[in-house]
Amino acid sequence: MFVGGMLSSSGDRFWKSGSFFVLEGFRALTEMTEVEDKVVVVTGGSSGLGEATAKLLAERGAKVMLGARREENLQRIVSDIKEDGGAAAYRVTDVTDRDQVENLVAGAVEEFGRVDVLVNNAGLMPLSPLDALKVDEWEQMVDVNIKGVLYGIAAVLPRMREQHDGQIINLSSVAGHVVPPNSAVYSGTKFAVWAISEGLRQEAGDEIRTTTISPGAVESELTSKITHEETARGTSALEDMAVDASAVARAIAYAIEQPKDVDTNEIILRPTAQAL
Catalytic center residues: 186
Please list every residue from 79 through 98 that binds ligand NDP, using CB under 6 A: 93-96
Residue 215 binds to ligand NDP (criterion: CB under 6 A): yes
Run of H or E including 53: helix 48-59
Residue 220 binds to ligand NDP (criterion: CB under 6 A): yes
Task: Indicate the residue among 45 and 107 with the shorter CB distance to ligand NDP.
Answer: 45
Residue 222 binds to ligand NDP (criterion: CB under 6 A): yes
Residue 44 binds to ligand NDP (criterion: CB under 6 A): yes
Task: Indicate the residue among 14 and 62 with the shorter CB distance to ligand NDP.
Answer: 62
Task: Indicate the residue among 14 and 118 with the shorter CB distance to ligand NDP.
Answer: 118
| CA distances in angstroms from 96 to 54, 68, 122, 145, 149, listed in the order given | 21, 11, 10, 9, 9
Sequence-ordered alpha helix ranges (H) in 88-183: 98-112, 135-141, 148-163
- CA dihedral 186→189→190→191, nearest 10 degrees, is 120
- Residues in contact with ligand NDP, counted by CB under 6 A, come to a total of 30
CB of 242 to ligand NDP, least distance (A): 6
Phi/psi of residue 240, each to 5°?
-65, -35
Q: Among residues 116, 119, 205, which one has the least CA distance to residue 163?
A: 116
Q: Are the C-beta atoms of 226 and 235 separated by less than 8 Å?
A: yes
Alpha-carbon torsion 245, 106, 138, 199, what sign?
A: negative
Q: What is the DSSP letter of 147?
A: I
Pick one of 65, 105, 118, 121: the residue that binds ligand NDP (CB under 6 A): 121
Region binding ligand NDP by CB under 6 A among candidate stretches 17-25, 204-212, 219-227, 261-269: 219-227
Residue 124 binds to ligand NDP (criterion: CB under 6 A): yes
Contact positions vs ligand NDP (CB under 6 A): 43-50, 68-70, 73, 93-96, 121-125, 144, 171, 173, 215, 217-218, 220-222
